[in-house]
Structure 1
Amino acid sequence: MHALSDDVRRKLMGVSVPAVVSLLWRNGYKNTMLFGPRPVNPNTNRFVGTAFTVRTIPVREDFVDAQNRGDRPNLQAQAVAEIGPGEVLVVAMDGETRTAFMGDIMSTHLAVKGVAAVVTDGSVSDAAMIATIPLPVIAGGNAATTYLSHRYVTDLNVPVGLAGVAVCPGDVLMGDANGVVVIPADMAETIADLAVERELLEEFVLARVKDGAPLIGTYPPNEETLAAFEAWRKAEGR
């Protein structure tokens, strides 16, 4: 898996999800934003981290029996034990919200470990308590039912589909108040650099619009606006 440098993480933490989605689109990646899962705690939703993926399938009783006998590993517990600081626990549950993958105790443990976030298209249990924990948790619902009622973990760190978006181990997930975007691992550095440039340009353009500049020619910027931007940037030392 690709490592996420502190520089790339810092840059992505300073830009917006819409900017990143737009830049990925321009670079050929059309399906990168999650639709459905929402922050359990809206006050804790900005994060950047690499994907530690969990694949689940519909539950089957013999799988559960084998796990209880010790003949199959408990991959839910293994995922929580193995995920490291700065990673995002990505739990693909095919949109099944009648069952919860985790609750407040597991969330607390992950927060203490320094996990960057949890993102699932399934549910969590006791969302009211999770909302008090300083860990970004993005989920599709709130359910008190254990995940073994409907889902079963079969694989860790394999490509998964999350809310209709492909996620590979090591991909970079980024979240803010606008939502969550998945950045392919080998595009993270490029997108981070482009996003910083994009945000700086939009800062300049927005200031012009606030000062009464006409939208045509200002946004999208024409050559005159771009030249003025470069002059402003040089003057500001940015």
Structure 2
Amino acid sequence: MNPDVRQKLMGVSTATLCTALFKRGLRNQFLQNVHPLNASLPNMVGPAFTLRYIPAREDLNTIKVFEDRNHPQRVAIETCPEGAVLVMDSRKDARAASAGSILMTRLMKRGAAGVVTDGGFRDSPEIAELGMPAYHSRPSAPTNLTLHQALDINVPIGCGDVAVFPGDVMVGDREGVVVIPAHLAQEIANEAVEMTAFEDFVTEQVKGGRSILGLYPATDPDTRERFAAWRARNGR
């Protein structure tokens, strides 16, 4: 993806991005009940590469299927592009794992920007220590084969009650994950940087005792002047 967009999105919050998306009429872009395994990591930013699970059918989803080199889960791990985010539609069902630490280690070594599922991960403590951003609903020890059958790769999916299309820009922070339609990524990134600068200014003013009235939003005539002076002083 565009390096300028990636760099800008690395420094903004999902909350700010949600507001920028809402201004454009997009209300449902934040994944529900999807949380970071390691909240100390930097933002996750990358285009979506998707994997879709369906309910497992017992006669087709035995332990033997993993011996097939064309198994969709294995293929997704081995073909997810460098810098992309693997996004898994696990039907919001964390009773069985979407993947475990060995596959996630392979994904990390191949250069993925991160991984997201609306289900759960097994070996979640090990995945949390990998250094690759990973988001899930909750830990889940059983293998995915018990309930999930991997089916489609890089197709439109639902994850955490949000539509995710291949190439959409996924951004994760310490709160969760937001989906930015690919065609809006540049303008959303640009606006989010501006919003972040203003909100940092506002936070400093509020900590100094100033009322939010007339400050946030900036309806007082001198607020914009104060903000411009603050930006000049802080190189923002």
Q: TM-score, normalised by structure 2?
A: 0.92
CA drift of 1:228 comes to 2.6
Range that drifts further, 82-91 or 228-237: 228-237
CA drift of 1:44 comes to 2.7
Distance 1:96 1:69, change over 3 A: closer
Distance 1:207 1:72, change over 3 A: closer
2:227 is matched with 229
Give me the CA root mean square deviation.
2.1
What code does the residue aligned with 2:146 have? Answer: S
What code does the residue aligned with 1:28 have? Answer: G
1:64 is aligned to 2:71: no
**Separation in 2 of the partners of 1:236 and 1:141?**
40
CA drift of 1:158 comes to 0.8
5 Å matches for 1:175-214? 175-214=172-211
Distance 1:235 1:126, change over 3 A: closer
Conserved 8 A contact 1:45-1:137: no
Q: Deviations over 1:125-173 (max 9, x none)?
A: 1112222211111111222211111111111111111010110000011
1:54 is aligned to 2:51: yes
1:172 is matched with 169
Q: Deviations over 1:86-116 (max 9, x none)?
A: 1111000111111112111111111111111
Q: TM-score, normalised by structure 1?
A: 0.91
Residue segments in structure 1 that go unaligned for 5+ positions in a row: none
1:218 is matched with 215
What code does the residue aligned with 1:108 have? Answer: T
Q: Where does structure 1 differ by over 4 angstroms across 4 or more consecutive aligned residues? A: 69-72, 234-237
Distance 1:237 1:139, change over 3 A: closer
**Percent of aligned positions with the same letter in both sequences?**
41
Conserved 8 A contact 1:158-1:169: yes
